[in-house]
Structure 1
Amino acid sequence: MSFAADSPFKSISILYRKSHIWLNEGCIPCDLTAAQAIVIMIVCDFSTLTQDEITKRLSLDKSVIAKTVTKLEERGFLQRTTNPKDKRTYDIHPTEKAWQVYPHIREQVEACFCRMTQTMSEEDRQNFRRLLDTAARAALNQEE
């Protein structure tokens, strides 16, 4: 079955959908959705981010991030503190609960990547990772 030649957007759509399904399944033991897991992961990756920075890094709608951060704060995964440089802005920090699930989330993200690249050689897998990063950076740079 050859469908990749149809359109790269069809392939991107399939990869996005499947990776979200796999990550949702993988995060069930932590009682997290894929979207929540990704927010926890990025906040842990940087230790402190503002809500705006999370929005920009994930290229998602502000309201989606606001709702997700609020839900994760209510569930004890994230904490908001007033930014000392700008009192109108909140810094988002991971809690101990977030740090506890962080290794599992990283494992699940890597497992999703391995599933989508299972038929690739290690060299192809590394090149694919690099090309995905390059394409994502190019897309984000167009927003600036």
Structure 2
Amino acid sequence: MKLLDDTILRNIGALSRSIHSINDIYFKKYHLQRSQFIFLTRICENPGINQISLSNMLKVDKATTTKAVQKLMAEGYVTKERNAFDKREWNLYPSEKARQVYIPIIAEENRDIAICFSGFNDVERQTVCTLLERMTNNIGQEWKKYKSYKV
């Protein structure tokens, strides 16, 4: 049996799952579950984004995005408006409720970042960020090959 070449993806996965589990508990008071906060923050940061662009940004399938957006709309966090130039497309906007919740969500994300980088110096922190960004870009090219929709 061939052994795994490197455990980095398992470590990244464990890191991601740990953060999402903690945040799902923390954000429950806002009626956000199953990592809906990642959709909410991106809509707040990119008002008017469409669902395909949001899916591409988050590297998730359209069905996952649709479910998350529907739940965010049901909770009053997101509104959608038909695109003025392409009537088939809908643009997503954060509500005032979303803008208010965005502040504590980002504060919690910053707390998670601080915990993750505990014991790192500035050079180590920058190196990790640079290398992870490169890895994300590399796998992003591969991800696009498997998706049937484009931005």
Q: TM-score range by the shorter chain?
A: 0.7 to 0.9
Could you tell which deviates more after superposition, 37-46 or 121-130? 121-130
Residue identity in the other structure for 1:18: S
How far 1:96 sits from its partner (Å)? 0.5
Q: By how many angstroms is 1:126 displaced?
A: 2.5
Q: Distance in 2 between matches of 1:107 and 1:132?
A: 22
Partner of 2:119: 119
1:69 aligned counterpart, secondary structure? helix
- 1:67, distance to aligned residue in structure 2 (A): 0.5
Alignment of 1:1-144 (within 5 A): 7-33=7-33, 35-142=35-142, 143=144
Contact 1:81 1:90 in 2 (8 A): yes
Scaled by the length of structure 2, what TM-score is found? 0.84
Query: Conserved in 1, the CA contact under 8 Å of 2:31 and 2:75?
Result: no
Q: Return closer, same or farther for 1:93/1:102 CA change in 2, 3 Å cut-off.
A: same
Q: Distance in 2 between matches of 1:24 and 1:125?
A: 26
Q: For 1:74 and 1:28, locate their aligned partners in 2 and report how far apart those are by CA, in whole Å.
A: 15
- Give the direction of change, closer, same or farther, for the CA distance of 1:137–1:90 in structure 2 (3 Å limit): same
Distance 1:32 1:16 in 2: 17
Distance 1:47 1:8 in 2: 34
- Report the Cα distance in structure 2 between the residues aligned to 1:28 and 1:104, rounded to whole angstroms: 13
Partner amino acid, structure 1, of 2:93: H
Alignment size in residue pairs: 140
Of all paired residues, the percent bearing the same amino acid is 24
Structure 1 unaligned segments of length 5 or more: list them: none
**Structure 2 unaligned blocks of 5 or more:** 146-151
